[in-house]
């Protein structure tokens, strides 16, 4: 039987007339809005708004990033350095504090720890991480109800910590805030010469542009399918690393003497600025705390960065080689790199003395042995427990802390 195409065409329209009409109206509305915008922008017509005329919408919208873990996140971290050789757990409460945190509804004292991954202690069992454990020891020693919050974030520097202090910590009205950030600040300032930079992982200001929207799509995908997303990300990282190793091995390992000297000049020229930036951020942290009637405490960063003669003779030179490679990236020797890290720890001590506040010197009190560290700056569980003991001992000997517990 012959097909009547006219009937088919009509039936196609009839079957879809509502959708077609809707699409037509949507296009018509879009055209009307565009025409209206053009007329309003290029004339003196004012309708309901009698004040504002926008000639240019401006650049991309920007906002300050709160660099934290996602609230209510619950993850398992598998790592051979974990005590039970299986996994450690990272759990967060509704405010993005690492659990355990808010133990008491009405505590006598609240302490908050700010810092980077060295304060998070991801591979350590939850109740052995020093921010929680030090609060537990203090509670047992004083008989007071103490909440100890871990507000650290991976890769956070002092500027990120100040942001978290203002926007997340102040609302819970803590009595004491402790900050330990040394190596991350040294790294970001050596690379960028400023905390305000365009490094996508470090910048404090996010701009809503094409790259940001793409990252948001990826983040939402990882939020919906987190394990698939992580596997894909690790696969891409592996492929990139393999490609770079295969094609750029010579370029990465051969650094000319002229390039080294150039790097040395840049670092020497900016060293005063680098240390000044760090000092100002430490002072800003202290001033904000004092202005809000909070007791500020600084901590130096414990580490396995020993004298080169000792470090180079390790049976397993993993840490020494890692530090050596990192130093070369900046055109430095191992000894020069160690000197910079020591200088930043000294700045922490000096800033504390000038402001008459407690400085807990983990750098001096934690032995630089492999039992305490699994890399240059991150604790094994034994090191975290020792840090908690050092922290609690320093608090118990501090006059300001003893005045707090007597109230």
pLDDT digits (tens, 9 = 90+) for 361-399: 999 999 999 999 999 999 999 999 999 999 999 999 999
Contact at 8 Å (CB) between 156 and 116? yes
The gap from C-alpha 138 to its chain's centroid, in whole angstroms, comes to: 27
E-strand ranges in 211-304 read 295-300
Query: Per CATH, which fold does 67-212+261-406 belong to?
Result: Rossmann fold (3.40.50)
- The band of 255, judged by pLDDT with boundaries at 50, 70 and 90, is very low
- Provide the pLDDT confidence category of residue 117 given band limits of 50, 70 and 90: very high
Average pLDDT over residues 41-56: 79
Pick from 169-178, 229-238, 302-311 the range whose average pLDDT is largest. Answer: 169-178
**pLDDT at residue 236 greater than cutoff 90:** no
Token pair listed for 363: 């750098």
Helices 257-291, 183-192: axis angle to 10 degrees equals: 130
Average pLDDT rounded to a whole number, residues 144-152: 97
Per-residue pLDDT, 353: 97
- State the pLDDT at residue 188: 92
- Which residue carries 């039936």 as its tokens? 11
Q: Is the pLDDT of residue 5 over 80?
A: no
Q: How far apart are CA 372 and CA 370, in angstroms?
A: 5
pLDDT digits (tens, 9 = 90+) for 10-19: 566 677 788 8
Q: Return the DSSP state at 380.
A: P
Of the two residues 44 and 257, the one the predictor is more confident about is 44
């Amino acid at each position: 039987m012959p097909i009547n195409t006219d009937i088919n065409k009509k039936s196609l329209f009839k079957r879809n007339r509502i959708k077609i009409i809707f699409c037509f109206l949507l296009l018509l509305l879009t055209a009307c809005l565009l025409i209206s915008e053009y007329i309003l922008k290029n004339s003196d017509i004012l309708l309901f708004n009698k004040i504002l005329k926008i000639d240019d919408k401006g650049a991309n919208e920007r906002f300050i990033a709160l660099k934290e873990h996602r609230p209510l996140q619950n993850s398992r971290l598998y790592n051979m350095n974990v005590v039970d050789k299986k996994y450690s757990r990272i759990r967060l409460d509704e405010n993005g504090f690492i659990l355990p945190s808010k133990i008491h509804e009405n505590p006598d004292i609240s302490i908050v720890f700010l810092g980077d991954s060295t304060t998070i202690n991801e591979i350590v069992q939850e109740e052995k991480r020093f921010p929680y454990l030090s609060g537990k020891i203090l509670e047992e020693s004083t008989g007071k109800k103490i909440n100890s919050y871990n507000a650290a974030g991976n890769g956070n520097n002092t500027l990120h910590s100040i942001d978290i202090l203002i926007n997340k910590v102040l609302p819970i009205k803590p009595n004491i805030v402790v900050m330990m950030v040394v190596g991350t600040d040294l790294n970001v300032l050596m690379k960028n010469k400023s905390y305000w930079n365009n490094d996508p992982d470090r910048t404090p200001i996010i701009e809503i542009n094409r790259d940001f929207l793409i990252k948001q799509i990826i983040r939402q995908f990882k939020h919906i399918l987190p394990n698939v997303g992580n596997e894909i990300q690790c696969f891409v990282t592996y492929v990139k690393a393999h490609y770079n190793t295969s094609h750029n091995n010579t370029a990465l390992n051969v650094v000319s003497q002229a390039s080294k000297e150039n790097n040395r000049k840049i670092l020497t020229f900016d060293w005063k600025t680098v240390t000044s930036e760090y000092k100002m951020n430490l002072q800003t942290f202290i001033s904000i705390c004092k202005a809000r009637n909070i007791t500020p405490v600084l901590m130096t960063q414990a580490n396995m960065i020993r004298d080169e003669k000792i470090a180079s003779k390790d049976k397993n030179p993993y840490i020494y080689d890692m530090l050596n490679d990192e130093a070369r990236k900046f055109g430095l020797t191992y000894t020069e790199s160690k000197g910079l890290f020591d200088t930043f720890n000294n700045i922490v001590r000096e800033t504390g003395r000038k402001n008459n506040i407690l400085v807990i010197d983990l750098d001096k009190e934690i032995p630089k042995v492999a039992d305490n560290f699994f890399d240059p700056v991150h604790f094994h569980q034994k090191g975290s427990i020792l840090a908690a003991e050092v922290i609690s001992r320093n608090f118990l000997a501090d006059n300001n802390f003893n005045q707090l517990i007597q109230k």
